[in-house]
Chains A and B, each alone.
Chain A
Amino acid sequence: MRLILSLIAGSLFGGGLFISGMTDTTKVQGWLDVFGNWDPTLAFVMGGAVIPMFFAWRLTRGRQPLVGGEFPTTRPELDHRLVTGSVLFGMGWGLAGLCPGPALASLTYNGWAGVLFLAAMSAGMLISAPVGTQLDRLAAKA
């Protein structure tokens, strides 16, 4: 059951990324490029995605996930990792116009460049623990 639901969710996610045009890096960079030829598409994608999720979160109240267990809780605290991590991520996102979802969804049609990006992203994930520890040290000093 868990696996089937995962497959369905992943298919909707990948299909949505594909038809929304979010695997086209010019659409993502076009949205970030406020000083150039601005492309509003990403805002529509975000808006369209937030609406079903808003109702989904409402439906979690007083219920359990279909497979049992508990719904995820929120962490209220803001920390330096959230900000520094998001800034690093944003820099990479702006440079290539790819974030993790579209990088995966476009894997079969993004050529060697897409494969190289995914490999570099995986390497980045592997070194993120020591990098995070270094950032913690810097934050403690500051």
Chain B
Amino acid sequence: METDWIWGLVGGATIGLGGAVYLLGNGRVMGASGIFGGLIDGSGWNSLWERVAFLVGVIVTPLILWPIYNVEIDTHMTTNVWVIIAAGLLVGVGTRIANGCTSGHGVCGISRFSLRGIVATVFYILAGGLTLAIFRHVLGLI
């Protein structure tokens, strides 16, 4: 769609506003893998409800926006079980070992000119592009 970039920019600014509220309000870096991961492995249970409240907002808001937005939403998610399991495992392991993902290292890191954030972003984009190129254009699997 020709208006995709406008929605991208508006949605992006909304994401950034969320990060700003989380930082200036609670004094924390808004990283999805960190907030969720801390709940999964128990390392973040000392701030349990803060994390739960954040995730409730993340999961419920699209449901509220859906009828207002009034556009057919298709996630085009792959249905290949092995691809889903492999991808999920890699994303889970990788984001915890690197201590951040697209929101923490990407959005919050780059905006403060953090070297760690920039290096992480360069590597996950290169790895993502290369993996997609191999699996789509060489092997034809995805």
Partner-B contacts on A (CB < 8 A): 2-27, 29, 32-36, 39-57, 59-60, 63-72, 74-78, 81-101, 103-111, 113-114, 116-129, 131-132, 135
The complex places the Cα of A66 from the Cα of B63 at a distance, in Å, of 29
Query: Nearest residue in B to A10 (C-beta to C-beta)?
Result: B57
Q: Are B15 and A12 in touch, CB under 8 angstroms?
A: yes
Q: How far is the CB of A103 from chain B (nearest CB, A)?
A: 8
29 contacts between A and B (CB under 8 A): A9-B54, A11-B18, A11-B60, A11-B61, A13-B103, A14-B58, A18-B11, A19-B11, A36-B137, A47-B12, A48-B11, A48-B15, A53-B19, A66-B24, A82-B116, A87-B94, A89-B127, A91-B127, A92-B89, A94-B129, A100-B103, A104-B32, A106-B75, A110-B75, A120-B85, A122-B92, A124-B93, A125-B40, A129-B41
Q: Are A56 and B23 in touch, CB under 8 angstroms?
A: yes
Partner-A contacts on B (CB < 8 A): 4-5, 7-30, 32-33, 36-37, 40-41, 49-51, 53-63, 65-66, 69, 73-79, 81, 83-99, 101-103, 105-108, 110-112, 114-116, 119-121, 123-133, 135-137, 142
Query: Nearest residue in A to B81 (C-beta to C-beta)?
Result: A116
Q: How far is the CB of A120 from chain B (nearest CB, A)?
A: 3
The complex places the Cα of A46 from the Cα of B102 at a distance, in Å, of 9
Name which of A60, A76, A85, A126 has the most chain B CB atoms within 10 A of its CB: A85
Partner of A7, one of B10, B15, B54: B54
Q: How far is the CB of A74 from chain B (nearest CB, A)?
A: 5
Partner of A66, one of B26, B111, B131: B26
Name which of A71, A107, A113 has the most chain B CB atoms within 10 A of its CB: A113
